[in-house]
Amino acid sequence: MGNVREAEASELLGLIRRGEATTRSELQDRMQLSRVTLGKRLDVLLRSGLVDEAGQDASTGGRPRTVFRIRPGCGVLLAVDIGSSRTNLAVTDFAGTILVRDDRLLDLSGGPGTVLPWVRRRLKAMLKEIGAADSVLGVGVCVPGPVDPVSRRLVHPALMPGWHGVDLAAELKEDFDGVPVAVGSDVQVTALGEYRMHWSNPDGIILVKAGEGIAAAAVINGVVRTGATGAAGEIGHMRISEGRQCRCGRFGCLESVAGGWALRERLSEAGWTVGSSEELADLALRGDSLSIELLELSARLVGRALAPVIAVLNPSAVVVAGALADGGAVFLDPLRAALEAVGPQEATRPLVVASAQLGADAGVVGAALLAQDLLTAPAHLDMLLTRVTSRRPDQDSFVKLFT
């Protein structure tokens, strides 16, 4: 393909993937291409097996229109969610549907050498389990910290000592036949997954992840805003007081008083032994007064930190993810109240504040979508089409199994 054709085919794929335009007439309206040119671009995608026909839309009196979709069985994606305490893995079809998953508690403090060997070993075993070892198209990875948007290396992740400067794409690429590897921060990747799967809205959303750490991400016009250095949304390390030392080394960070680890320290001082943010939220739901008090405090502080963001971006929704959000109304109600108390009424009055929908799968679903975005970008589209086309004769059995 030439550069223009790659760009057009990439845009075409994006519209179909996101469900924004799925018929010839819709695609022609959005892309402003002639019928002949659109037909040529579609034909390449159809013949490759990357796109197929998904039936016809409901008739409105005229001729039924053919609906196009990404072909789920054209290959698989590997999704890696490296969390602060638990690492989740999944193999998905190309549409992002999970085919097989695994997880394990892993300590990140020992550096990549304590985590990546298990990730490599289990991903290869999972591929073998489903007979898809030769079907990998790409890998998506998310981590609990900033990722440089240009180099894709980790940038001083507070929860990951020994990981600064690590190039996860290079670490994993050669293990899986040199396929492209996309890397992003966990909160930004979670926001991508939530937005695409449940909250698509041109006015955008803010996702806040409240667990052991605190972070946020903005999705505006369908694009996750990473910022100049990948640190957009790192609200957990805003200095809000003269208080305790944070895990990042500074004093008075939001996370040092509102993060799950800080709340658990408070519980420990009161004689409680609470091993995780999930346990803390469960205690609050069971009516423990101190746990409720701490969860409400965290929510108020997070709401105050988010209010200026709401004032600047004026999103349609704040979506709350993470273990502390498992406290439900105990966390969401004071968060909403703090936003309304601090933020401008014009922005907060119509604002939806709701729990995230993807749950424990948020990271791997978002990571799969991140990989899909990378693969369908113009720079990688030729490679993707070549890989998909080369395995087209073997596709039928794979499609029967996984679509």
Cβ(157)–Cβ(99) under 8 Å?
Answer: no
pLDDT at 61: 60
**Which of the given ranges, 65-74, 294-303, 391-400, has the highest pLDDT on average?**
294-303
pLDDT at 247: 86
Task: Please check whether residue 195 lies inside any domain of the structure.
Answer: no
156 shares its domain with 101: yes
Do 139 and 77 form a contact (C-beta atoms < 8 A)?
yes
pLDDT of residue 58: 67
Q: Are 65 and 125 in contact (CB under 8 A)?
A: no
> Both 88 and 138 in a single domain?
yes
Confidence of residue 182 (pLDDT cuts 50, 70, 90): very high
Q: Are residues 124 and 164 in the same domain?
A: yes
In this structure, the answer to whether residues 36 and 123 fall within a common structural domain is no
Angle at alpha carbon of residue 215, lines to 267 and 290, rounded to 5°: 20
Q: Which pLDDT belongs to residue 224?
A: 94
Query: How many distinct structural domains can be found in the chain?
Result: 3
Domain around 339: 200-359
List, for residues 257-267, the tens digit of each pLDDT value.
999 999 999 99
Both 342 and 385 in one domain: the answer is no
pTM here is: 0.89
**Residues 328-370 pLDDT 10s:** 999 999 999 999 999 999 999 999 999 999 998 999 999 999 9
Nearest CA among 101, 106, 102, 103 for reference residue 84: 106
Mean pLDDT of 220-248: 90
66 and 114 inside one domain: no
Kindly state whether residues 45 and 80 are assigned to the same domain: no
User: Does the pLDDT at position 393 exceed 80?
Assistant: no
**Cα–Cα distance for residue pair 316/194, rounded to 1 Å:** 14
Looking at the fold, whether 341 and 216 belong to one and the same domain comes out as yes
Torsions phi, psi for 249 (to 5 deg): 105, -20
Residue 66 DSSP symbol: E
CATH number for position 223? 3.30.420.40
Q: Which of the two residues, 390 and 28, has the higher pLDDT score?
A: 28
Rounded-to-integer distance, Cα 338 and Cα 11, Å? 40
State whether 214 and 345 are in the same domain.
yes
Which residue would you say has higher pLDDT here, 299 or 19? 299
The SS3 of residue 223 is: strand
State which of 327, 343, 359 marks the end of a domain: 359
The answer on 271 and 178 residing in a single domain is: no
pLDDT (tens digit per residue) in 99-108: 999 999 998 9
